[in-house]
Structure 1
Amino acid sequence: MRGIRFLIFIVFVLLCDDAASQVFAQPGFSASNIGSGWSQPIGAAFSKDGQKLFVWEKAGKVFVCIRNGSGLYDKQATPVIDLTYEVANWDDHGLTGFALDPDFAANGFIYLLYVVDRRFLMNDGTIPIDKERVATIGRLTRYQTIVDAGDLVADTLTRLVLLGETKSTGIPVLHDSHGMGSLVFAADGSLLLSAGDGATYNGADVGNNGQTYYVQALADGIIRGQENVGAFRSQMLNSHNGKILRIDPQTGNGLSSNPFYDASAVRSPKSRVWALGFRNPFRFTIRPGTGSTNPSAGDIGEIFLGDVGFRTFEELDIIKSPGMNCGWPIFEGHTFEVPPSGGELAYSAYDTLNRDEPNPLFNGGSCTPRWFRFRDLIKQATADGIKNVYNPCNPAEVITSGNTNRFYHRRPAIDWQQFENVSRLPIFTGNLAATAMLGTPASNATGTPFPGNCSLGGFWYTGNLFPTQFRNVYFHGDFGAKWIKAFTVNFTDVVQKVDNFASNIPALVFMTENPLDGTILYVDIGVNAVKRITYGGNQSPVVKMTSDVTYGPSSLTVSFTGNESYDPDGASVTHLWNFGDASPTSTAADVVHTFTSPAGVPKKFVVTLSVQDASSVTVTDSIIISVNNTPPQVEITSPIDNSFYALGSDSVYAFTSTVVDAEHSSSQLRYEWQKSLRHNNHEHPGAIDTARITSGAIARIGCNGESYYWFVRLRVIDGAGLSSIDSVKIFPACSSGPLPLVLRSFSVSPQGSENLVRWVTESAMEVKSFDVERSTDGRHFVSINHQNANASAGINQYKFSDNNFPPGTNYYRLSMTEIGDVIKYSAIVKLTSDRQSESLVISPNPVVGNFSVKYVATVNGPVTLRVIDISGKVLKTLNETVNRGHNLIYVQNEPTWKAGIYILTIHQGNEIRQGKLVKAE
């Protein structure tokens, strides 16, 4: 077992205001939540009149919120549609795109873009639901909504598959990310959607990559043999991957005004392609007021798109014309894709063949191979705008293949470097492409260079609620860097200015504007929130509520505080407490309430505090109080925390745990497993698995110059509302030598007149020695024991008995000296001996019958009391909950205890206190 356990008690929130999470660059802006109870929300869309707000969740549910008289939105409890049985919800995949028909008010059509669960795709009931790391497809469907019993719902009988009706006609999904993106209607009524390249993100993928599911995809017919080229599918006209696609929303066919339309194959990828050369174009929008209303004109307006970078640069792309090619994977950002120094080849150096495009000059002798290479079919932009590329077998012969835009690199409007303050705009030096740093005279744009590492996309702001600086600008976000910036872009689509708008947004995945009031809505999947940004005017009040305890035996008296709630506008607020037990409400700011339940019956009470400002805007927060209940004790037993994996193909890990709940049986507990891949400074969260014992596929990736590790989390909720969380991390083993040290545990426990120090290590072959250090103030430590490290691999156990510690409080830590004299330290453990009488008093002492323990706690929370004999054997264990300050714990004397001296300990967090207990005859 690990020495330090983290137990988190979860408070369910009905409507919390965590607006402090984001930081605005200018005063006057505020954020508040819309609705509650979201589970991995990933996007939102307003009806044209702004009266309806649709929110879709990654797992496959869509909800509608109706605007009320206060200008806020009330969530309909019944989903508009639930496609969780069909949607593959794992890693980055799920229901990512949603759109309302432009004539939704009349026809009620909704459109959904998602990855299909392989079980559903193959019609094979033996495949587990949400089976991970398998080949599948992206699908686009349309439903018509109706009103049924007062609820807006989809009529499932109206289902129409527009794209992906079979496994061979969908958008190939061959890895854990780079799947489906967005759905957007153009002014001409055509429907556009974005799709990623379907390649692995862990190194170059030019086909036959063992990290992907290409073998399965080929066997199933999900991809053709020609498409087994990894990221180069983005450059193939007859592949859906890495594209912006444009279709007829009535049929799913490509439109005749598309740049590569083939009248003999209207549903082919080629007929649907509008733009190409993208890696992961997750979010895009069309600049308002651009584009024709005639679908035959082939003028849909100007697409603003975020393309997620690979190794170096993130992009903001602007697509103005059909057939434009943003260059991936030959180009990343403004320049050729460049691998790490000493690493693999750049994509532009590969001779990968486009076997959809034969070279007409091939003769088997002087002109080989039979097909063009991908790098033969695109050139860097030049000032003269000439788009010709030439046959490698005859430099004088121009390659012709449809719209020539595809041969010419459409450079980003701006790119920015990962983790470096580098932001570049496109310029030319003579006839050659070049770049200028944002803010320099050569760039003709003002702003400060900035970093990022996951370009999201955004929207054009057309409202007038915000200050002039933020009107008629394009807002763009970066998921990894957690920012939103405002880009001023002129009528020629040149970036002129970049302003900071908001930062510290945990996991931004979507933004849009409310057409009614000019507020901004954004979706944060990290905190399961849909948020509204407003400026000036009346701001929503902020609820701040706390309780001194959240659980305990009946009758449980709880002190609640709400006096820190406030109105950002400075006006007074009113309070309304509802205790969830049918008792009278209270309008006091701070209240005390007693909760009761029959003996032995755990019961949950949801206590709400509603705070209202002078304009009658109300915000509500809640806390669960659980009577006759304690939280479950949770420990993940597999995977092992801080363990390592060797690089290779995917591995399936067993997910097991030890869970103890004093009041509930196993059947009354709800389990929520979730694994997430943490990449650099952002996270790819997986789906929630509610099985008690389950498993998960772990992609054994990493060691490519970027940070990767897996985070596995288990939350267990009991039947009366309390929950606890445990988590573990799994890292790639990037060293060719011994795996790095893992300190599995470090603990200090009283054993009679000694304090026993124990520690357990794993793979400590790089460690020379250990020193146990002690302090009386927690700051100044001295070594009290030195031990050489065991050089053997695997798990090693160490111990030391401290029999010369001073009375009162002592602090212990472990100093670990690695080869090369690198020193690392463990966490500090605090232990208090029996001579600290004021904070732990046993009465009476000596004891004959039952006795009490007065314990002075520094914080609220759970404690564990143990009675230990002089041999170190634990005779009695009690789990209690204490409040900060003085507590009295009653202990029942056991007749089996013989007369003599015992040690009584109380553990709270990392702190251990002990006292001497004398048992009389």
Structure 2
Amino acid sequence: MWGLVRRARGWTSVAAAMLLVAAALGQGAARAETLPAGFRDTVVLSGLTNPTALQFAPDGRIVVGQKSGVIKIFQSLTDTSPVTVADLSLQVGDYWDRGLLGLALPPNFPTSPYIYVLYAYDAAIGGTAPRWNDACPTPPGPTTDGCLVSARLSRLQISGNVMTGPEQVLINDWCQQFPSHSVGTLLFGRDGYLYVSAGDGASFNNVDYGQYGATYAGGQANPCGDPPGSVGTALTPPNAQGGALRSQSIRRPSGPATLDGAILRLDPATGAGVPGNPFFSSPDPNARRIVAYGVRNPFRMTQRPGTDELWIGDVGWNTWEEINRVVAPTTAANFGWPCYEGAGVQGGYQGAGLSSCSALYSTPGSVVAPYYAYHHGACVVSYTGCRTGGSSITGIAFYQGGSYPSEYNGALFFADHSRNEIWAMLPGTNGLPDPARLRSFVGVDATGGAAGHPVDLKIGPGGDLFYVDMEGGTVHRITFTTANQPPTASFTATPSSGAVPLTVNFNGTASSDPEAGPLSYSWDLNGDGTFGDATGATATRIYSAAGTYHPSLRVTDNQGATDTASVTVTAGNTAPTAVIDSPASSLTWKVGDQIGFGGHATDVQDGSLPASAVSWSLTMHHCSTPSDCHAHLLQTFNGVSSGSFTAPDHSYPSWLELALTATDSGGLSSTTSVRLDPRTVVLTFRTNPGGLTLTNMVVNEAPRSTPFSVTVVVGSANSVSAPSPQQFNKFTYNFTSWSDGGPQSHTITAPTTNTTYTATYRKR
């Protein structure tokens, strides 16, 4: 759920800031964003921890899966005290983009009393969890050799709101070497079968065909055992079939097929492939499950109502996000990854000279082009403030009719976690979503507000669109009315804690009305439920007695519609002070560095806080430009005052943020952080003779004419290929050697000084 311009696909950021915003707005408050006229975005479920998947049960309950493996049930959209129906956290590998990511309910739930889950299992195929305990030490290193895990599809039997009996594992497969491109979606089709999506589990930094895994003592290359070698054998072009090529495993000259980078159609009772699947006659049980393949990270998919079509949001690498359409699950569809990205060839894998890709390039029509793709450098819908750069398509759903205007009937909604936007692709004259009819639905406003970080879209009660904001810990509902819309109450309390007597200034000027009409204000400052303690956009109150108060603001528009928001004020207690003692912000790192950290916290009321009162988070910020960055939570450290972590491999520009949060006995907390920038180096690539093309992992859209230079982090792994033969100035040139002695396609570990690499060619 990482990176990007887009290196690793997925999500996260330091969630604390988002949670504070949600708390300030209050349950039911709308976020700051741009919506079409008549629409309103409201938080309906909150207080969750990294929610990833949402399902509405026919009996009105709502089931929410959290990334850690905890599953919650809300009795209704007004329930503020969900129950934990299951806790799979010991089995779930919750690290980087890994976790519990897919969840489904049978159409006749709870008559069929099961919850289906899809998650990263914290052990290799056939192993026993927990293996890595939601971490990945160095060695092997998350982005160097990878910490090998698998994935599970399971069903959990439910009685009431409680899991009964053991987990029934239907499939334990999906070899995943690197901590992204993990599993994705579970859904029941109208045929009653269970559909499953999963990514390739390969490197998100480099071209990966099965060569990684043995850079440290005891490490094994090709740990997934992909052909034509076995575990311990580093694969080489042209015949390598590992890494991202697991997405093409159904085409291997001699199996076995893997489930990575594929879409499956299964018997929900057994997990087996079903009659009608394209490869059902195969003796390979995995092949019998596959209905589509050649996808990188099909994180979310849906079915078009009234059809068997699958519509898949496939998170791309550096250049393209795709929406792919499987017209019928009985006919195999190959979407081309890693040989293709978007509608064109993927330059990095083309340059590696892989026979699996060459066979596709030489066979027109062998790959299904995306139904729609958007470029990372372009706005999906152009408007002031629309975002470009880092991208990851993380939600997809069809609108089936309800209160929305009729033009939305049959529209395809899709969301991007990195851009914080949701769009609508309205239907054309043939009833299919029309890429020429794109609308911004939840967009970015002039102040930078956006749709949180959506990771799941669902159509729920009333036919409304709901979305899961993972970092915000919330579920949102988007409603529509042609009548007067209620205003949005929003206010600040400054300070929100402190010694008594505590003077607090309240400011409600951020409240707004969709129709831009005048607002009236009424305050409940002592939290007793009675408004009228003050009127006007601002107010002040002195809290003389220690305690926790919940003051509220009610705003009313000129047509009588109201909205209420509340905050928490703590009198007689002050937030603790968190201090990071090390590392200093002046520290710069290279890949593989062991970085020690330490800190402490003090509190006016409690004195020095123990280690159990603090927690740390390590976040990677990846930037498409120096000012356009998005964040990925890498790791947390709870209940320790000191420790260490290993600087990960990641593309540049990027930087690390280490945050320390302290919480006192009264529940107040504070967070401080330090930014840690990497050491960088410039790699220059040339050819002899000059002007030929090379492919480098940083410039992997297509082979690039030499000379060119790239800035990378010292110690990072950088794959490079010298395509051969090449046509240049009417002559044909064949590759002969690299100046560093590496083979035609190889990985360069970035040195500490600027270095030039030259590929020599000979004229044929």
Judged with a 3 Å threshold, the aligned counterparts in structure 2 of structure 1 residues 594 and 533 are, in CA distance, closer, same or farther, namely same
Q: CA deviation at 1:242?
A: 0.7
1:297-336 paired onto structure 2 within 5 Å: 301-321=308-328, 322-336=331-345
**Residue in 2 aligned with 1:39?**
49
Instruction: Give 2:105's match in structure 1, choosing from 92, 100, 106.
Output: 100
Instruction: Give 1:234's match in structure 2, choosing from 221, 226, 247.
Output: 247
What per-residue deviation string (whole Å, max 9, x for no partner) do you get for residues 472-496 of structure 1? 2101122222222211344567644
Check the 8 A contact 1:314/1:333 in 2, yes or no.
yes
Instruction: Give 1:22's match in structure 2, choosing from 21, 29, 33.
Output: 33
Instruction: Give 1:480's match in structure 2, choosing from 418, 440, 445.
Output: 418
Check the 8 A contact 2:334/2:368 in 1, yes or no.
yes
The DSSP-based 3-state class of the residue aligned with 1:90 is coil
What per-residue deviation string (whole Å, max 9, x for no partner) do you get for residues 49-106 of structure 1? 6x22222221122222233xxxx43144321222222211111111111111112131
Q: Work out whether 1:378 is the aligned partner of 2:395.
A: no
Q: Work out whether 1:250 is the aligned partner of 2:269.
A: yes
Q: Work out whether 1:281 is the aligned partner of 2:298.
A: yes
The DSSP-based 3-state class of the residue aligned with 1:104 is coil
Q: CA deviation at 1:611?
A: 3.7
Distance 2:567 2:37 in 1: 28
Amino acid at match of 1:673: W
Distance 1:668 1:606 in 2: 28
Judged with a 3 Å threshold, the aligned counterparts in structure 2 of structure 1 residues 75 and 54 are, in CA distance, closer, same or farther, namely farther
The DSSP-based 3-state class of the residue aligned with 2:463 is coil
What per-residue deviation string (whole Å, max 9, x for no partner) do you get for residues 759-793 of structure 1? xxxxxxxxxxxxxxxxxxxxxxxxxxxxxxxxxxx
Check the 8 A contact 1:63/1:76 in 2, yes or no.
no
Check the 8 A contact 1:606/1:625 in 2, yes or no.
yes
Q: Work out whether 1:183 is the aligned partner of 2:186.
A: yes
Q: CA deviation at 1:36?
A: 2.0
Judged with a 3 Å threshold, the aligned counterparts in structure 2 of structure 1 residues 213 and 711 are, in CA distance, closer, same or farther, namely farther
Q: Work out whether 1:693 is the aligned partner of 2:712.
A: no
Q: Work out whether 1:523 is the aligned partner of 2:468.
A: yes
For structure 1, the 5+ residue unaligned runs are 1-6, 165-169, 291-300, 339-345, 353-372, 388-407, 424-437, 439-447, 598-602, 738-921
Distance 1:196 1:258 in 2: 20
Amino acid at match of 1:198: G
1:129-208 paired onto structure 2 within 5 Å: 130-131=135-136, 133=142, 134-147=147-160, 152-155=161-164, 157-164=165-172, 170-208=173-211
Amino acid at match of 1:500: S
What per-residue deviation string (whole Å, max 9, x for no partner) do you get for residues 404-441 of structure 1? xxxx1100112121123589xxxxxxxxxxxxxx9xxx
The DSSP-based 3-state class of the residue aligned with 1:19 is coil
Distance 1:260 1:686 in 2: 38
Q: CA deviation at 1:498?
A: 1.7
Structure 1 window deviating more from structure 2 (448-457 vs 77-86): it is 448-457
Judged with a 3 Å threshold, the aligned counterparts in structure 2 of structure 1 residues 39 and 422 are, in CA distance, closer, same or farther, namely closer
Q: CA deviation at 1:561?
A: 5.3
Q: CA deviation at 1:263?
A: 6.0
Q: Work out whether 1:410 is the aligned partner of 2:368.
A: yes
Instruction: Give 1:501's match in structure 2, choosing from 431, 441, 444.
Output: 441
Distance 1:175 1:83 in 2: 21
1:328-407 paired onto structure 2 within 5 Å: 328-338=337-347, 346-352=348-354, 373-379=355-361, 382=364
Check the 8 A contact 2:525/2:533 in 1, yes or no.
no
Amino acid at match of 2:118: L
Structure 1 window deviating more from structure 2 (496-505 vs 584-593): it is 584-593
Check the 8 A contact 1:633/1:660 in 2, yes or no.
yes
Amino acid at match of 2:588: F
What per-residue deviation string (whole Å, max 9, x for no partner) do you get for residues 288-321 of structure 1? 100xxxxxxxxxx111111112122221111113
**Residue in 1 aligned with 2:118?**
113
Q: CA deviation at 1:560?
A: 4.3
Q: CA deviation at 1:236?
A: 0.5
Q: Work out whether 1:718 is the aligned partner of 2:718.
A: no
What per-residue deviation string (whole Å, max 9, x for no partner) do you get for residues 495-544 of structure 1? 44222222132312111111x31221111223222111111246455232
Q: CA deviation at 1:284?
A: 0.8
Structure 1 window deviating more from structure 2 (524-533 vs 668-677): it is 668-677
Q: CA deviation at 1:124?
A: 6.9
Instruction: Give 2:581's match in structure 1, choosing from 623, 637, 653.
Output: 637
Q: Work out whether 1:89 is the aligned partner of 2:94.
A: yes
Q: Work out whether 1:654 is the aligned partner of 2:596.
A: yes
Calculate the TM-score normalised by the size of structure 1. 0.61
What per-residue deviation string (whole Å, max 9, x for no partner) do you get for residues 259-278 of structure 1? 1225644xx32221111001
Amino acid at match of 2:502: L
Distance 1:532 1:642 in 2: 44
Distance 2:442 2:645 in 1: 36
Amino acid at match of 1:459: A
Distance 1:453 1:531 in 2: 21
Distance 2:510 2:375 in 1: 42
Q: Work out whether 1:272 is the aligned partner of 2:272.
A: no
1:399-438 paired onto structure 2 within 5 Å: 408-420=366-378
For structure 2, the 5+ residue unaligned runs are 1-15, 236-241, 251-256, 445-450, 624-628, 684-764
1:585-624 paired onto structure 2 within 5 Å: 585-589=530-534, 593-596=541-544, 605-609=548-552, 611=554, 619-624=564-569
Structure 1 window deviating more from structure 2 (453-462 vs 227-236): it is 227-236
Distance 2:561 2:335 in 1: 50
Judged with a 3 Å threshold, the aligned counterparts in structure 2 of structure 1 residues 239 and 28 are, in CA distance, closer, same or farther, namely same
**Residue in 1 aligned with 2:67?**
58
Judged with a 3 Å threshold, the aligned counterparts in structure 2 of structure 1 residues 83 and 486 are, in CA distance, closer, same or farther, namely same
Structure exhibiting the larger radius of gyration computed from Cα positions = 1
What per-residue deviation string (whole Å, max 9, x for no partner) do you get for residues 443-484 of structure 1? xxxxx9987622224111112322233222101122222222
Distance 1:213 1:611 in 2: 62
Check the 8 A contact 1:610/1:620 in 2, yes or no.
yes
What per-residue deviation string (whole Å, max 9, x for no partner) do you get for residues 559-607 of structure 1? 5455875665769778573746xx785543456555456xxxxx65141
The DSSP-based 3-state class of the residue aligned with 1:721 is coil
Judged with a 3 Å threshold, the aligned counterparts in structure 2 of structure 1 residues 714 and 264 are, in CA distance, closer, same or farther, namely same
The DSSP-based 3-state class of the residue aligned with 2:65 is strand
Amino acid at match of 2:524: W
Distance 2:661 2:583 in 1: 15
Amino acid at match of 2:438: V
Q: Percent identity?
A: 27
Check the 8 A contact 2:612/2:639 in 1, yes or no.
no
Check the 8 A contact 1:63/1:80 in 2, yes or no.
yes
Check the 8 A contact 1:217/1:223 in 2, yes or no.
no
Q: CA deviation at 1:161?
A: 0.5
The one of the two structures with greater contact order (alpha-carbon pairs below 8 A, sep at least 6) is 2
Amino acid at match of 1:40: N
Judged with a 3 Å threshold, the aligned counterparts in structure 2 of structure 1 residues 226 and 245 are, in CA distance, closer, same or farther, namely farther
Distance 2:124 2:248 in 1: 30
Check the 8 A contact 1:136/1:174 in 2, yes or no.
yes
Amino acid at match of 2:403: L
Judged with a 3 Å threshold, the aligned counterparts in structure 2 of structure 1 residues 189 and 76 are, in CA distance, closer, same or farther, namely farther
Distance 1:451 1:592 in 2: 44
Judged with a 3 Å threshold, the aligned counterparts in structure 2 of structure 1 residues 413 and 698 are, in CA distance, closer, same or farther, namely farther
Amino acid at match of 1:96: L
Instruction: Give 1:683's match in structure 2, choosing from 631, 638, 641.
Output: 631
Judged with a 3 Å threshold, the aligned counterparts in structure 2 of structure 1 residues 486 and 548 are, in CA distance, closer, same or farther, namely closer
Q: CA RMSD in A?
A: 3.6
Q: Work out whether 1:261 is the aligned partner of 2:250.
A: no
Check the 8 A contact 2:177/2:202 in 1, yes or no.
yes
Q: CA deviation at 1:42?
A: 1.7
What per-residue deviation string (whole Å, max 9, x for no partner) do you get for residues 3-55 of structure 1? xxxx999685583466343212x222111111221211222121236x22222
